[in-house]
Amino acid sequence: MKPFILERTQTLPVSIDQAWDFFSNPSNLMKITPPDMEFRITSPLQSDTYAGQIITYTVRPLLGVTVNWTAEITHVEKPYFFVDEQRIGPYRFWHHQHRFREVEGGVEMFDTVHYLLAHDQLARLINRLFVAPRLKRIFDYRSKAVRAIFPDI
């Protein structure tokens, strides 16, 4: 089965270094994740993002069920992109690219998520009914939260 894909683009009125410093810091995930997901980092925080970094956290993605999630930062090219991949969690496969590009007036931020669900036969239905709408809501929240953190100057 081909992975499902979620893509988002947002322009921020900040420098590429400011965008990098914020988005590459795992502790800022709590600021841009919907509160009802009860996102909590459970691993010691590192000051720099690096390839091979492991980040563990708990989250309640659906129906109030707490899930342990382990992510690995697999690629880093400061300040232009980094990739996190789920190692343990609710998805069969999760690959999230964070890319940053300087544009007039700030930085364009691109998120691309490729993901697979556990049940091949029901994946399309589960994605359409539950997962895709939930991911859309999470990234919509993230977009609003980021606009509040980095308002237009």
Read out DSSP for 41-56?
E-SPPPSS--TT-EEE
Side-chain half-sphere exposure of 134, counting CA atoms within 13 A? 13
pLDDT value, residue 66: 93
- pLDDT (tens digit per residue) in 81-101: 999 999 999 999 999 999 999
For residue 133, give the 3-state DSSP assignment: helix
**pTM for this predicted structure:** 0.93
> Residue ranges of the chain with pLDDT lower than 50?
none
pLDDT value, residue 153: 52
Q: Which domains does the chain have, with CATH numbers?
A: 4-121 (3.30.530.20)
In whole angstroms, what is the distance from residue 141 CA to residue 145 CA? 6
pLDDT value, residue 49: 92
The residue type of 88 is I
pLDDT value, residue 126: 92
In sequence order, the 6+-apart residues with CB closer than 8 A to the CB of 149 are 22, 31, 32
- pLDDT (tens digit per residue) in 38-52: 999 999 988 789 999
